[in-house]
Amino acid sequence: MTSSSSQPLAGKTALVTGGSRSIGAAIVRRLAQDGAAVAFTYSASADRAEALVADIASAGGKSLAIKADSANADEVKDAVSLAAQAFGGIDILVNNAGILVRGIVDDFDLSDFDRMFNVNVRAVFVAVQAVLPHMSAGGRIITTGSVTADRSGFPGASVYSMTKGAVAAMTRGLARDLGPRGITVNAIQPGPTITDMNDGDKLQDQLGPLMALGRMGEDTEVASLAAYLARPEASFITGSALTIDGGYLA
């Protein structure tokens, strides 16, 4: 028999957007490991999504992959509905889907501006709106932001930084809206993190010296913070943007 300490999310249901790879996949795995039934969206990585579902099933967990482009509001709403129907409600929403398009302001394409805003900001608001009819007191809403909300750090990040600053501000406002319903709203702000989307060794050489700990983060470490915020003991944390950056901002 599994103890409540080893599976603190047993009986809970979750939806993670952008959950098929990198930090998103690490969050899906961790929530499932902690006992939650986890639905997650993916936009293009079907093979990765299917492999993740199989891995979770082999470990005795329950998951559901849903194809949805977070730039499309209707697809985000449909994903929430499918997850709620499959699991009978949603206790935990993790808004993880995000994209990064770099560019200096002089020639930054407005179509890239619009898509990045739609995925990184609008989709968060759309998902929150859609999930509320399926979420009761004790619900958790967690959004993956970035330390770029506080420090862009490199040229060409103005629009991305803007979207992550918007996420932090929206988190505070939503916490006020939903606090009376017993729903907490928080953001996690990763610093430089090794994922399957970047060259970890190259970035370690570039960014390691900027970190107080002298190294970049792991996606599993970021996932652990998201999982903590989903747990019962995090019930008094809301409206926060919690930085997990190895001292990058220190």
Q: Which of 42, 160, 228, 248 is flagged as catalytic?
A: 160
Nearest-angstrom CA–CA distance, 52 and 31: 13
CA distance 25 to 89: 21
Q: How far is CA 217 from CA 174, 187, 199, 205, 208, in A?
A: 28, 17, 13, 13, 10
DSSP structure string for 177-210: HHGGGT-EEEEEEE-SEE-TTS-HHHHHHHHGGG
Residue 107 DSSP code: G
- As a whole number of angstroms, the distance between CA 114 and CA 159 comes to 10
> For 239, phi and psi rounded to 5 degrees?
75, 20
67 phi and psi angles, rounded to 5 deg = -80, 125
Active site residue 160: yes
Closest CA to 50 of 26, 72, 75, 25: 25
Q: Which positions are annotated as active-site residues?
A: 160
